[in-house]
Amino acid sequence: MAERKRQLVRDELSEAALQAFAFGGFQETTIDQIAAAAGVSRRTFFRYFKTKEDVIIEFLSEVGQLVPDALRARPANEAPPVALREAFMAMVEVYAEHPEKAIRLAKLILETPALRARYLDRQFEWQQELTTVFASRAGVDGDADLGPDVTVAVGVAAFNTALLRWVRSDGSEELSDLLERALTLAAPAIR
CATH number, domain with residue 2: 1.10.10.60
Co-location of 13 and 32 in the same domain: yes
Query: Which pLDDT band holds residue 72 (cuts at 50, 70, 90)?
Result: very high
Provide the mean pLDDT of the chain. Answer: 90
Co-location of 127 and 74 in the same domain: yes
Co-location of 35 and 58 in the same domain: no
Say yes or no to pLDDT of 25 above 90: no
Co-location of 58 and 76 in the same domain: yes
Query: Mean pLDDT over residues 133-159, rounded?
Result: 89
Co-location of 172 and 101 in the same domain: yes
Residue that terminates a domain, selected from 49, 68, 86: 49
Co-location of 4 and 76 in the same domain: no
Please state, for a pLDDT cut of 90, what percent of the chain lies above it.
51
CATH of the domain at 163: 1.10.357.10
pLDDT at position 10 is 86
Co-location of 157 and 86 in the same domain: yes
Co-location of 20 and 84 in the same domain: no
Question: 3 lies in which domain range?
Answer: 1-49
CA distances from 91 to 20, 60, 71, 137, 176 (A): 21, 10, 11, 21, 10
Query: Which pLDDT band holds residue 174 (cuts at 50, 70, 90)?
Result: very high
Q: How does pLDDT run across 150-169, given as a tens digit for each residue?
A: 999 999 999 999 999 999 99
In angstroms, the CA 2 to CA 69 distance is 28
Residue that terminates a domain, selected from 30, 49, 68: 49
Query: Mean pLDDT over residues 11-24, rounded?
Result: 88
Co-location of 180 and 152 in the same domain: yes
Q: How does pLDDT run across 73-122, given as a tens digit for each residue?
A: 999 889 888 999 999 999 999 999 888 888 888 888 888 898 899 889 88
Say yes or no to pLDDT of 70 above 90: yes
pLDDT at position 175 is 95
Co-location of 165 and 149 in the same domain: yes
Query: What is the domain count for the chain?
Result: 2
Co-location of 12 and 99 in the same domain: no
Co-location of 41 and 57 in the same domain: no
pLDDT at position 47 is 92
Query: Mean pLDDT over residues 179-190, rounded?
Result: 91
